Amino acid sequence: MKFKIGLIRGDGIGPEIVNEAKKVLDSVSGKYGHSFEYEDILMGGCSIDVYGVPLTDEAIEAARASDAVLMGSIGGNTSTSPWYKLPPEKRPEAGLLKIRKALGLFANLRPSKLYKELSSACPLRKEAAEKGFDMLIMRELTGGLYFGERYTKETDGVRTAVDTLSYNEDEIRRIAIKAFEVAGKRRKKVTSIDKANVLDSSRLWRAVTEEVAKDYPDIALEHMLVDNAAMQLVKEPAQFDVILTENMFGDILSDEAAEITGSIGMLPSASLNETRFGLYEPSGGSAPDIAGQNIANPIATILSASMMLRYSFDLTEEADRVDNAVQAVLSKGIRTGDIWSEGCERVSTSEMGDAVCEEI
């Protein structure tokens, strides 16, 4: 089969980790006889350097013309980079919000799995780490506080900032449907996160989610307030299967879920629209302090490529092969520095990519 893949290498460690994911995809194509065509697309600080904006209309069209997009990391050091002297709408991360909205990427899937080989790196108490966990956070990505009306004004010498949190039932329903569909292929449980004891938007979220649940009688639904969810993630993460939540809560909880795996360098993500199109990226940042040193962990980006094979290309066997290759590499004790422990083999970014390709 033939697919066109847009590559957003991005900033910081982005180009290094995308190169390794591309290497893995090329190994898959060679193994199964597929054809992957790549087109480089600029977004983030690298686009600012060339065009003065984090994302051009031409870049959006190039992404739209692809079957899927694989992205590295966006942004730089917020205290030293000249990009962060620009107005907010022209900074690197503004490109992320723009491309998500332009391509209708409303569903963000963030798996969080603790591999048994990495249980020693988990910061949780031993009993929780030994149980392990394998959850997926389904985060609504194009609504809520991040996309609502915002302004700052001064009245009688007092500055006031306003950010608006708004959701309509259609936005909630479509992300809830995605969550139940994914849960049906996993352990058949959805935990919907809200703040329904305080927020009107959360009360609507809960009501619509319960309406959707009626169409999936074989899937268990529970509701949990966001503050309790934050506690339960560090107390007993094994209880979760699919976590469904709105934009800001999902942003916070997915980073917490990333940390308890031992390294954010292990966590992939997918952002999907209502078709098979998706944008796939690691959950971590651009790590400018280690950029260009060939020491970043590329596994999150490699697993993001696996999600692309699974969700956008419907190549389940190929995705399983990539996932199993990562598992095999970890079982052999091969580690980048962020997940290294005594007795393991410490490797570079490119060596980790080579090791996964060898398993494929």
Contacts with 359 (C-beta within 8 Å, 6 or more apart), sequence order: 324, 325, 326, 328, 329
Backbone angles phi, psi at 340, to 5 degrees: -70, 145
Q: Are 227 and 283 members of one domain?
A: no
Instruction: Supply the residues annotated as catalytic.
Output: 146, 195, 227, 251, 255
Residues 128 and 155 in one domain: yes
**Distance between CA atoms of 3 and 297, rounded to whole angstroms?**
26
- In the β-sheet with 35-40, what is the strand arrangement from edge to edge? 35-40, 2-10, 68-73, 278-282, 268-272, 107-113, 134-140, 242-245, 189-194, 220-225
Same domain, 150 and 245: yes
Q: Is residue 59's pLDDT more than 90? A: yes
H-helix or E-strand spanning residue 3: strand 2-10
- As a whole number of angstroms, the distance between CA 85 and CA 76 comes to 12
- Same domain for 276 and 213, yes or no, is no
Number of domains present in the structure of the chain: 2
**What mean pLDDT is reported for the chain?**
95
Does any domain span residue 43?
yes
How far apart (Å, rounded) are the C-alpha atoms in residues 352 and 50? Answer: 31
- How many CB atoms within 10 Å of residue 232? 14
Burial of 22 (0-12, 13-18, 19+ CB in 10 A): buried
Residue span of the structural domain in which 271 resides: 1-115+264-360
- What pLDDT is stored for residue 285 in this prediction? 86
Q: Is 140 within the bounds of a domain?
A: no
Query: In the structure encoding, which two tokens stand for residue 67, read together?
Result: 């079957």
Residue 262 has pLDDT above 80, yes or no: no
Helix (H, G, I), strand (E, B) or coil at 74: coil
Q: Is 138 inside any structural domain?
A: no
Q: Can you give the CATH number for the domain in which 307 is found?
A: 3.40.718.10
**22/83 same-domain check:** yes
- 228, 260, 292 — which closes off a domain? 260
Tens digit of each residue's pLDDT (9 = 90 or more) over 117-144: 888 878 888 888 888 899 999 999 989 9
Give yes or no for residue 178 having a pLDDT over 80: yes
Decide if 188 is inside a domain. yes
Q: Which of 327, 287, 343, 333 lies closest to 16 in space, CA to CA?
A: 287
CA distances from 167 to 144, 199, 201, 243 (A): 6, 11, 6, 18
Does one domain contain both 99 and 175?
A: no
Considering the domain architecture, whether residues 129 and 253 belong to the same structural domain is answered as yes
Choose the weakest-confidence range: 92-106, 233-247, 258-272: 258-272
**pTM of the full predicted structure?**
0.87
Q: Which of 260, 275, 294 is the last residue of a domain?
A: 260
Residues 253 and 170 in one domain: yes
- Of 260, 277, 304, the domain-final residue: 260
Q: Cβ distance 99 to 63 under 8 Å? A: yes
61, 80: one domain: yes
Least Cα distance to 124 among 242, 10, 260, 245 occurs for: 260
Question: Do 38 and 82 lie in a common domain?
Answer: yes
Residues 349 and 276 in one domain: yes
Q: List pLDDT tens digits, range 9-57.
A: 999 999 999 999 999 999 999 999 999 999 999 999 999 999 999 999 9
Does 190 lie in the same domain as 211? yes
Q: Does any domain span residue 139?
A: no
